[in-house]
């Protein structure tokens, strides 16, 4: 399976125009059977690297997923991370902030969920909502209780971008590696998936009137995403714009990006000291002696 992850990475300082980024590309699989084979291989390799990551206990990894409704975030997380030990992986979903959360700065609630060393943290939506949905719906911003002199929409988004980049740089300097995925779905494909959610009873629970209301703001969301991706994709915390019209291809691309990131880390299983080797040798001798005495 050949995937060049650089094809999907937003370079630092690049001005993003999402109309020029594909929502559908030539699939890397030739059949459903081959897709399952590729995904299974990637999941198995990721599971192995996650065990090494947990044992080495040097880095933490944060995966951030952002997208329009029905882009396949939940499915991508479920399928790609299916082989990872739950003890080494934490998934958090962020929706409307609580009253307590609104009494703090906009990064506070997500900062409490950052992954520990040796673990993988997954944010299904994130602090980026504060420069996406809040930008599309400025009434949310004005309900957050901020001082009036901080609500200037000419400056507040740049200030929030700066806060986000500063945070991500700080995390990088402390051993956290951040990978950010924007699942790039076309408006037409979203329409089809919404119809599926209505027509298939087992998917009805996924659909709400709020989804169709938000669809009216498609253009504004694309503009907000373009500004966000342009301002916050860095060498140390890059954004990847992943074509999302083909869910299977999306999952394979995401899994390859995660694998390549893990492989770039300098991870090793902890070395056993001479004293520890002697201790283990002594324990081994005792266990063998127990067996011989029981016989």
Task: Work out how many domains the chain is built from and give that number.
Answer: 1
- Which burial class, exposed, middle or buried, applies to 108 when counting CB atoms under 10 A from its CB (0-12, 13-18, 19+)? middle
Q: What is the value of pTM for the model shown?
A: 0.92
* pLDDT value for 257: 97
Distance CA 235, CA 74 (A): 26
Distance CA 253, CA 271 (A): 34
Strand order from edge to edge, sheet including 239-243: 9-10, 239-243, 176-184, 60-67, 120-124, 89-93
Task: Please report which confidence band the pLDDT of residue 294 belongs to, taking 50, 70 and 90 as the band edges.
Answer: low
Compare 148 and 16 and report the one with higher pLDDT.
16
Q: What is the domain extent for residue 237? A: 5-294
CATH number at residue 99: 3.40.50.300
**What's the pLDDT tens digit per position in 118-133?**
999 999 999 999 999 9
DSSP string of 68-104?
Answer: STTSSHHHHHHHHTTTS-GGGEEEEE--SPPHHHHTS
Distance CA 224, CA 179 (A): 19
**What's the pLDDT tens digit per position in 216-264?**
999 999 999 999 999 999 999 999 999 999 999 999 999 999 999 999 9
Distance CA 161, CA 92 (A): 22
Q: Report whether pLDDT(1) > 80.
A: no
Distance CA 72, CA 65 (A): 10
């Amino acid at each position: 399976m050949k995937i060049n992850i650089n094809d999907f990475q937003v370079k630092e300082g690049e001005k993003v125009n999402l109309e020029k980024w594909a929502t559908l590309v030539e699939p890397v699989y030739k059949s459903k059977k081959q897709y399952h084979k590729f995904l299974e291989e990637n999941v198995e390799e990721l599971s192995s690297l996650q065990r090494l990551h947990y044992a080495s206990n040097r880095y933490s990894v944060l995966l951030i997923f952002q997208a329009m409704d029905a882009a396949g975030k939940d499915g991508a997380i479920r399928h790609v991370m299916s082989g990872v030990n739950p003890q080494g992986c934490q998934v958090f979903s962020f929706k409307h902030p609580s009253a307590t959360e609104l009494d703090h700065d906009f990064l506070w609630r997500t900062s409490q969920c950052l992954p520990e060393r040796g673990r993988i943290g997954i944010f299904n939506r994130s602090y980026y909502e504060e420069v996406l949905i809040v930008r599309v719906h400025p009434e949310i911003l004005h309900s957050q209780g901020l001082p009036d002199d901080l609500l200037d929409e000419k400056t507040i988004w740049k200030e929030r971008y700066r806060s986000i980049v500063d945070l991500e740089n700080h995390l990088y300097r402390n051993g956290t590696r951040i990978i950010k995925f924007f699942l790039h779905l076309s408006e037409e494909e979203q329409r089809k998936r919404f119809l599926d959610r209505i027509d298939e009873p087992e998917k009805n629970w996924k659909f709400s009137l709020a989804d169709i209301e938000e669809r009216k703001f498609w253009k504004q969301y694309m503009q907000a995403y373009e500004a966000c991706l342009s301002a916050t994709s860095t060498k140390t915390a890059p954004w990847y714009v992943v074509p999302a019209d083909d869910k299977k291809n999306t999952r394979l691309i995401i899994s390859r990006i995660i694998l390549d990131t893990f492989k770039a880390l300098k991870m090793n299983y902890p070395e056993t000291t001479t004293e520890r080797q002697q201790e283990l040798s002594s324990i081994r001798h005792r266990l063998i002696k127990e067996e011989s005495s029981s016989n």
